[in-house]
Amino acid sequence: MNYFKRLLKYIWPQWPRIIVILVCVFVIALTFSASFLTVIPLLKVMMGQEGLHGWAHRNICSYRYGIDFYVPDNTELSDPENAYSTFLLLTKAEEDKLGYKSGLRANDRIVYVSKEQIGENPGSMAASEMLDKLANLGADKRLYIKYLSYEDSGEESEHTTEIKANAPAFYLGASQGLLSMVSQTDSRNSKSEAMRVVMLVVAGMTVLRCVSRFFQGYLSQKVVNIGLADLRDDVFSHIVEMPIGYFSLKGSSDTVSKFLQDSQMAGNGIKTVFEKAIREPAKGLMCLAMAFMLSWQIVLVFLCGIPFLGFAINKLGRRIKKATKKSLVSWGQMLSKLDESVNGLRAVKVYNQQDREKQSFRGVNQRLLKEQNKIAKVNALTSPLMEVLGLFAGIIGFLMALEWVLAGNMDETEFFAMLMLLGTSAESFRKASNVWNKLQQANAACERIFSLVDTDKERDTSRPAVPAKIENEITFKNISFRYPGAKNDALKNVNLTVKKGENIAVVGSNGSGKTTLLNLLPRFYDPTEGEILLDGVNIQDMSLKNLREKIAVVSQKVITFHDTVAQNIAYGRPSANREEIIQAAKLAYADEFIKSMTEGYDTIIGENGAGLSGGQLQRIVIARAVLKDPEILIFDEAMSQVDADSEAKINQALEQLTTERTSFVIAHRFSTVINSDVIAVIDQGRIVDTGRHSELIERCQTYKNLYETQLLQ
């Protein structure tokens, strides 16, 4: 769970909300479990054993003095042959409690209670009155008690003792307030009053619990949403700082899947923690605590099943995590396949490969389905398995509780309450049984997310050397480069010097290393060997930001963003005003078609440049480079997919853009190459010759072949 723990750092800053959530959970658990204890007074009232007052007073006496009394049926205990016609029969006197210290023992009979000294023949006192006086004795007040006990000889003896009360229970005032609403008489009306009071308490607890459920649910989701937003910010910030080589090697679809699908699953894990993972166990534990108050021995027996539950949950959780990781990988593959098929739909249709693509997608889909079914099987197994194990624990607890009742250690009403509490506790833990599975799924998702965060960023220098301007030359010195995972070098010992302001064309066959060479200049990749120097300064000693501020790239693959035309042109220089943007567009011959658009420069460019032709998009990108006004321009086969009219205008724009600017042009067309100051011929990763067209056509066979087969096309 280490990866899931890392996710929690996005949650802890919201600790005030977390505290409120925990308070709400406590209130929910307390009111939920306490509502089951109301069964006891309800049954007491309905069965007519001792009434609501008697039950409340007896429990207060047990708490304050450690003594309990036998509960009669409907009538008070009486002995007509005894001078004292009514009495309270003690069934328990706990050691180290006030009752025991005052001399009271089990089987003693309390016959009279008074706040003053008791005389020789005080007369009789109703059992309910004695119980009321014992329960409501104020703190540090004294009560005198007359009781009868049996000596070892079997003879009955009379004793008098006193009790100095400790502080009353914190709930005594509230309980007495509720009891004052009910008559102590054993009548139909008093029973009705008692039922109304109990229902009022239940209703109050239910409303409080529901309000707490609302705040817990709302705040939990809010904490998750804020945490996920912060996580996505951090992940995205890291992604844009990662090397381009990572995406060239692994593709972008899996990264998008991790960013969207996996982050959502991780969020579901956090939500599970703040809802079911703490609420259901809290309810179960609180029910156990209430049951513990009734009989701790039975609760301990019930808890003997926990080790078996823990073992089963752990085993199932491991299987869930393994299946989840595989399913998330399949999600990434599906996204990649979908993106590939939609973007290549024209090729799919023109070559009639719909069936092939369907079969390929079906294979990816079936792998995902297989892993999802594994997860579903484990999730489906968890709840019934927990229910069976809980059933066995419950049966053992029931049988023991039954024996407890038959032995006279627990009355029937407490027995029913105990069964309800244990059953509800088992149900709460059953509901929480799949929490571990959810957390394992979230942990698997977090592992994939943080694999992105743990990927090294582009290497930058902490103390950059920053030439203010390029004054002399750019030098490629003994450059060799190999792509990650490749067996052979893409560039081999390349040496090239370009003077400031020169326009150099780089020509070569497909795969010869042209684009690779120029990708090293803005440090999209770093050379395996050698160095690139700007006026003698190694570009690896410059900060990436300062280096790239000097460079603009216009590539074959047009890159636009879902924004206005103006914002796309100003992408490299956001501070530019509208006049500067329009001037750049005019220089790139883009203003003529932008003005004819519905919203002009405020027109939104759709996804992947939807609505504009390739030539129009290319001129917008050239306008972006014009506005940036870079010292170095890289023009990478930018006219390979445009029509003749667009090519002519792009050539005009390019001619203006490259004037008195160091520029590198990769092209397959003679019209683009012929006017270059220098032409560098590259073949199989090596520069075989450099010079002007007239020189190379005479002496370089590689260039001559390129000229005849490609440049004249």
Among 353-362, 385-394, 488-497, 548-557, name the most confident range.
488-497
**Least confident among 567-576, 659-668, 688-697, 704-713:** 704-713
322 by Cβ neighbours in 10 Å (0-12 / 13-18 / 19+) ranks as middle
What is the rounded CA–CA span in Å between residue 548 and residue 542? 10
Q: Pick 52-186's CATH classification: 3.40.640.10, 1.10.645.10, 3.40.1010.20, 2.30.42.10.
A: 2.30.42.10
Asked if domains 1-27+198-454 and 52-186 share a fold, the reply is no
% of the chain beyond a pLDDT of 70 = 72
Mean pLDDT of the chain: 78
pLDDT at position 478 is 93
What pLDDT score was predicted for residue 481?
A: 93
- Tell me which residue of 316, 345, 353 sits closest to 438, measured CA to CA: 316
H or E stretch including 69? strand 67-69
Q: What is the C-alpha separation between 242 and 346, in angstroms, rounded?
A: 32
Judged by average pLDDT, the poorest of 322-326, 389-393, 425-429, 678-682 is 389-393
Judged against a pLDDT cut of 60, whether residue 76 lies above it is answered with no
In angstroms, rounded to a whole number, what is the distance separating the alpha carbons of residues 489 and 509? 16
How far apart are the C-alpha atoms of 93 and 65, rounded to whole Å?
Answer: 8
Comparing 119-123, 540-544, 674-678, 679-683, which segment has the lowest mean pLDDT? Answer: 119-123
443 and 494 Cβ atoms separated by less than 8 Å: no
Provide the edge-to-edge strand list for the sheet that holds 529-534: 491-499, 473-481, 529-534, 537-538
Structure tokens at 684: 């199989």
User: Has residue 145 got a pLDDT over 80?
Assistant: yes
Indicate if the pLDDT at residue 25 is higher than 80. Answer: yes
Instruction: Identify the band that residue 312 occupies on the pLDDT scale cut at 50, 70 and 90.
Output: low
Contacts 24+ apart (CB under 8 A), 118-126: 118/144, 118/146, 118/160, 121/83, 122/146, 124/84, 124/85, 124/86, 125/86, 126/76, 126/86
pLDDT at 75: 43
Other beta carbons within 10 Å of 576: 17
The C-alpha atoms of residue 676 and residue 691 are separated, in whole angstroms, by 10
Bigger pLDDT: 640 or 53?
A: 53
Average pLDDT (322-336) is 68
Contact by Cβ (8 Å): 76, 111: no
Give the whole-angstrom CA distance, residue 359 versus residue 362.
5
Is the torsion defined by CA of 93, 94, 95, 97 positive or negative? negative
- pLDDT of 283 over the 70 cut: yes
pLDDT of residue 77: 47
194 HSE (CA, 13 A, CB side) = 27
CB 263 within 8 A of CB 231: yes
Tell me the CATH class for 1-27+198-454: mainly alpha
Q: For position 386, what pLDDT does the model report? A: 62
* Model confidence pLDDT, tens digit, residues 82-113: 545 578 888 888 888 888 888 888 888 888 88
- For the chain, the structural domain boundaries read 1-27+198-454, 52-186, 473-712
For the segment 130-138, the average pLDDT, to the nearest whole number, is: 83
Least confident of 366-380, 561-575, 687-701: 366-380
CATH class name, domain 473-712: alpha beta
**Number of residues that this document lists for the chain:** 713
